[in-house]
A and B are shown apart, each in its own frame.
Chain A
Amino acid sequence: MTDSDNGKPLDETPPTDSAEAEAKAKEEAAAKAKAAKAKALAEAEAAKEPWERDPSTPSWEEVEDSLLVDSLRAAHADAVLSARSFAGDLVLEIDSQSIREVCRSLKEEHGYKLFVDSCGAHFDNREEKELEVVYILHNLETNDQVRLKVRVDVGVEVPSVAKVYAGANWAERETYDMYGIRFTDHPDMTRILLWEGFNGHPLLKDFPVEGIDTGAAIYPETYTDNAGPVAGTGTGWRPPAPPEEKTSQSAPESSGEES
């Protein structure tokens, strides 16, 4: 009790001074906090990616001053049909017959050693060259990516780049499976996801999603006649009705219940 009694007056002896000092300290702290807040805001603004600071829709731009494009144009005459960029990504349209040579020089001379992916695309509203093959290549040293596009007519083969990039093997098989684009000199130009004998290429725009019924059994070696799944089963097909033996079955069933 005595301690607290002694302590209290000691704290309150300079009442005016301490109040002033307190107010000053408060002001200083407030100013400090304000400055810190403003600094943090500025830092956050600076750390933002360009598209966060200016979130307008990117657009296609012609690329004029790219060393890569110039060197490709010099090495492969007429191979680069157009060079554009979209949101900072370089997109080159390549003549379909020179895609392998362009890929080879990109890999061996320009350091695009990583084959990221390749896929197809179908634009059924185009007058000609409806199909497209897209290649995405990556340079691991500069962290640059380049997108190559090849446009072809239906039924035209594209040179395979599987000899240049081993990773293109399965990607090209998938492109063939889904779009029907065949690749010349591919080591194994067969379907990869769907079974052999499947009718059509499902990612073409005119392919019915439930499949095209050929009536043929998918796995004739697994099932007997008229059994098992049928290619394009979305339409029509029903398993054959089991032989009618209802009457002979029902009698023992009921006797079993009674016993």
Chain B
Amino acid sequence: MDNVEANVLTTTYDKIFNWARRSAIWPMQFGLACCAIEMMAVLDPRHDMSRFGAEVMRGTPRQCDLMIVAGTVTEKMAPIVKRLWDQMPEPKWALAMGACATCGGPYRTYAVTQGVDRVIPVSVYVPGCPPRPEALLWGLMHLQRRIDRMSVSNLDDQGPMSPS
């Protein structure tokens, strides 16, 4: 019985769930334009996204928690983004990386979707054109803070969250 105290951890559902979710975010390996280059740079040893537990890029949406929309979403690509989003299991989050994914960026044209939030719900917007790798890390940490505020008693929180 002496070992009980050393081996039993008491916590709340929220804490343990949020800890697990925020510490192992698996992003989707999915780049649309030049922002994807910066997204790759985030994975390299200098910036090292694995410090935040988010280095496991998955090639299929069915194993992902996070969709980093890295680049320009064109009107012809939009339904594919939507389909990939629908294929991801919940809980899931979307991060709009860069000006194009946020609002269309410099492309106010007939061919470009004016922000990926017209197609899927976005949790974090990272500004920049393209954003520095540090900015994407900031977006990831921001997302982790938001995941930390989630509650198992309210599943609606998994959608786009109110600004912190």
Contacts and interface: CB of A to CB of B under 8 A. Distances in A.
Contact of A249 (B18, B79, B82, B157): B157
Interface size bucket, A side?
A: 20 to 34
B78 A239 contact: no
Contacts of B111: 194, 202
Interface in A180-233: 194-195, 198, 200, 202, 207, 209-212, 218-219, 222-223, 227-229, 232-233
B76 A195 contact: yes
Contact of B157 (A198, A239, A253): A253
B76 A222 contact: no
Interface of B: 12, 14-15, 18, 75-76, 78-79, 82-83, 108-111, 113-114, 117-119, 149-151, 153-154, 156-157, 159-160, 162
29 contacts: A194-B110, A200-B110, A209-B109, A210-B109, A212-B110, A218-B75, A219-B79, A222-B79, A223-B82, A228-B119, A229-B75, A229-B118, A232-B110, A233-B113, A233-B118, A234-B114, A239-B118, A242-B159, A242-B160, A249-B154, A253-B149, A253-B150, A253-B154, A255-B151, A256-B18, A256-B149, A256-B151, A257-B149, A259-B15
Interface of A: 194-195, 198, 200, 202, 207, 209-212, 218-219, 222-223, 227-229, 232-234, 239, 242, 245-246, 249-250, 252-253, 255-257, 259
Listed from nearest, the 8 A-B pairs whose CB atoms lie closest are: A211-B110, A256-B151, A252-B154, A222-B79, A252-B151, A259-B12, A256-B14, A219-B79
